[in-house]
Structure 1
Amino acid sequence: MTVRRLILLTALPLLLAACDGGGDPVEQAMREASTKNQAATVVEGTVSRPEDHSAHRAPADPGAGNRAFAASEAEMHRLMAAASGETVDQAYIAKMIAHHQGAVAMAEVALRESRDPEVRRMAQAVIAAQTREIAEMRAWRPTS
């Protein structure tokens, strides 16, 4: 990978964040986290490869933090697997509703368990945004 491309990959999240004039607090928090994560992936001139899913593996000892979310994660995955539709559009909406419900459930765990004001703020923003989007998706009707 060239230095030029490495710089571009590192700077892109910062440039995108600078172009945004505000907006959804969840998107802002995600942009900030993306910027931090992108900077962390650039180590000794290398960038982690997208096909490397090692970060998604459960740790050998999940710890109290991960155990707090185990039930909500399992329920989200169960609901997403059960969600279906006759068309791609219908299946997408059904699965995304389940996915967003999982996000709300995890945010509720964070509100119940976290004492960090920033985490609590982000959890409240997730609940508001995802609840609004669930209502929007439930109101969606196929055009044909």
Structure 2
Amino acid sequence: MSLTIKSCYAIRGLYEMYKLQSRNKEEKNSKISISKIAESSGISQEFLAKIFAELKKTKIVASEKGKFGGFYFTKAPEEINLSEIVEVLEVPLSSYDCISEGECENQNNCPVEFVWRRVQDAIFNELSNITLKDVIEYGKKKEALAAKSQ
């Protein structure tokens, strides 16, 4: 399983979206524009827009067009496992030939296939145990520490 920058940017973008949304507490499920998320996260707006379009497939986020449009969460952060995010962005999940369907020329004789399957399963299981809420809480702690040191 190979994770690309897309997964990192998706998680970071969702974290920033949550922060921006939290500032607008008076509006439940306030919509945040992709330009604001991009500016806050330091990620290219075009790339982030493509990532968020893919994230809509997971039903983690949805969007509305128009002057007051933008992205909003359809699930609470504690209901969003990182595996949901990675699964939609990192296709195929199997980056090693020996565990990709029909890719390995030694598929029947490969003595290390079980290693890559176990590694992939371990990564995916760990991602299933981490929620966006965990990321948010960790981010808050890091920001608080950074503020103290200034």
Q: What TM-score do the two structures reach when normalised by structure 2?
A: 0.29
Between the two structures, name the one with larger relative contact order (CA 8 Å, sep ≥ 6).
Answer: 2
The structure that is strand-richer by fraction is 2
The structure that is helix-richer by fraction is 1
Q: What TM-score do the two structures reach when normalised by structure 1?
A: 0.30
